[in-house]
């Protein structure tokens, strides 16, 4: 009997000691996680949030509001399946751009099979802008229905009263049904090519000139295709939706409605037939700049840049803005957003993603300062840099 009691006591003591050690270890780890402080950017490296977890906001964009930056991006999970949307859009906040607080999921996917944002759908490149008139935060993103490939080519729209959400999904759209672009050509109003009518293009290799195929005209009634995208709010408060369209062959730039939740019928085609995606746009010294990539799937390719006197164009290509070693892969990244740094004149940060399609959650971020040679933007590689880089501006 005594032996049994001693065994029970020893077991209890062991469990007690184990529990105490576990609590202490968890506490130490928590303190360590909270003590991580960054004072610079290290492009391509693991970037941990306030909880000590690698930031999970891929293909994202940033909103600056009342002294705080909000970073929105695709929440990925482990493995190849993690490239689909199993969670939603993650949000982080920061005061200094180096250190980020996890604000949770700002837009969640749902289990409703009738919804465009059903769990397992393709939800890409979320961007958020603030509408001063409605006092609403408006999120746009590229959406493809679950299991349907890339044929749907819509944009999803969601709104919230707070920057961190929750955002309410209000629907998906294609742009400007029943409207021709400002720079429409006579050929676009002619019958659509029989080749286009019967063929689905996965994103390249059109026979002949794209305008002779009249892909624009094919989608005149239902609205134009929308894939990789970004948003831009100009100095006058007017907002624009910039997206890869016409089976990725052409970029379209469309003005949004006053409440930023739909298009207003005014848009242009740019870079027709040049197959560019991943647009990121900004304004500097009265000129509009854009960075894009080619269309090579998950594989990185040489960056492409252009400048224009107006958001509507004409756009003039200025070549690959990446100039150091690995320029042919855009430093192993793809553009996603250009961030103007608050309080610093002529300070812009290129934001890019290093995709890891075999293990989506391990994707990395490449942030670099944008420099200028005359009216041409240039991106040098820096393994470690901070915002003092802009002090000379």
Task: Provide φ and ψ at 305, rounded to 5°.
Answer: -130, 155
Q: Nearest-CA neighbor of 276 among 315, 323, 243?
A: 243
User: How confident is the model at residue 6, as a pLDDT?
Assistant: 40
User: How confident is the model at residue 206, as a pLDDT?
Assistant: 80
| 209: Cα separation from own chain's centroid | 30
Q: Nearest-CA neighbor of 267 among 289, 291, 245, 235?
A: 245
User: How confident is the model at residue 393, as a pLDDT?
Assistant: 56
Residues in the chain where the model's pLDDT stays below 70: 1-35, 202-204, 392-393
User: How confident is the model at residue 208, as a pLDDT?
Assistant: 80
User: How confident is the model at residue 198, as a pLDDT?
Assistant: 84
The 10s digit of each residue's pLDDT in 244-292 is: 999 999 999 999 999 999 999 999 999 999 999 999 999 999 999 999 9
| 331: Cα separation from own chain's centroid | 18
User: How confident is the model at residue 201, as a pLDDT?
Assistant: 72
User: How confident is the model at residue 13, as a pLDDT?
Assistant: 54
Task: Provide φ and ψ at 309, rounded to 5°.
Answer: -80, -15
- In 3-state terms, the chain is what percent helix, strand and coil (to 5)? 15, 40, 45
Count of residues in the chain: 393
User: How confident is the model at residue 204, as a pLDDT?
Assistant: 64
The 10s digit of each residue's pLDDT in 194-212 is: 888 888 776 667 878 899 9
């Amino acid at each position: 009997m005594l032996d049994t009691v001693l065994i029970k006591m020893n077991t209890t003591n062991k469990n007690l000691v184990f529990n105490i050690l576990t609590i202490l270890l968890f506490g130490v780890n928590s303190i360590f996680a909270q003590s991580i402080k960054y004072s610079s950017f290290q492009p391509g490296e693991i970037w941990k949030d306030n909880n000590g977890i690698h930031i999970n906001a891929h293909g994202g964009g940033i909103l600056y509001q009342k002294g705080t930056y909000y970073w929105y991006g695709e929440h990925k999970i482990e493995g190849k399946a993690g490239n689909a949307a199993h969670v939603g859009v993650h949000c982080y906040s920061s005061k200094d751009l180096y250190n980020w607080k996890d604000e949770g999921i700002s837009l969640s996917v749902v289990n409703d099979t009738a919804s465009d944002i059903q769990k397992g759908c393709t939800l890409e490149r979320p961007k958020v802008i603030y509408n001063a008139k409605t006092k609403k935060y408006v999120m746009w993103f590229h959406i493809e229905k679950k299991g349907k490939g890339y044929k749907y080519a819509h944009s999803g729209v969601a709104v919230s009263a707070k920057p961190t959400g929750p955002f309410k999904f209000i629907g998906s759209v294609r742009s400007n049904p029943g409207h021709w672009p400002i720079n429409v050509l006579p050929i676009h109003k002619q019958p659509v090519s029989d080749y286009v009518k019967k063929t689905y293009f996965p994103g390249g290799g059109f026979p002949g000139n794209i305008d002779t195929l009249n892909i624009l005209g094919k989608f005149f009634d239902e609205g134009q295709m929308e894939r990789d995208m970004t948003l831009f709010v100009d100095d006058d408060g007017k907002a624009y939706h910039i997206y890869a369209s016409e089976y990725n062959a052409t970029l379209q730039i469309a003005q949004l409605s006053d409440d930023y939740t739909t298009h207003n019928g005014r848009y242009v085609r740019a870079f027709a037939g040049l197959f560019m995606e991943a647009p990121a746009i900004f304004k500097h010294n009265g000129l509009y700049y854009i960075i894009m990539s080619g269309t090579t799937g998950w594989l990185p390719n040489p960056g492409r840049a252009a400048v224009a006197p107006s958001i509507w164009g004409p756009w003039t290509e200025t070549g690959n803005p990446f100039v150091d070693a690995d320029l042919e892969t855009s430093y192993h990244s793809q553009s996603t957003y250009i961030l103007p740094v608050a309080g610093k004149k002529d300070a812009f940060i290129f934001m890019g993603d290093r995709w890891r399609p075999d293990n989506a959650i391990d994707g990395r971020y490449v942030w670099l300062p944008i420099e200028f040679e005359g009216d041409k933007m240039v991106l040098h590689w820096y393994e470690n840099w901070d915002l003092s880089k802009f002090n000379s501006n």
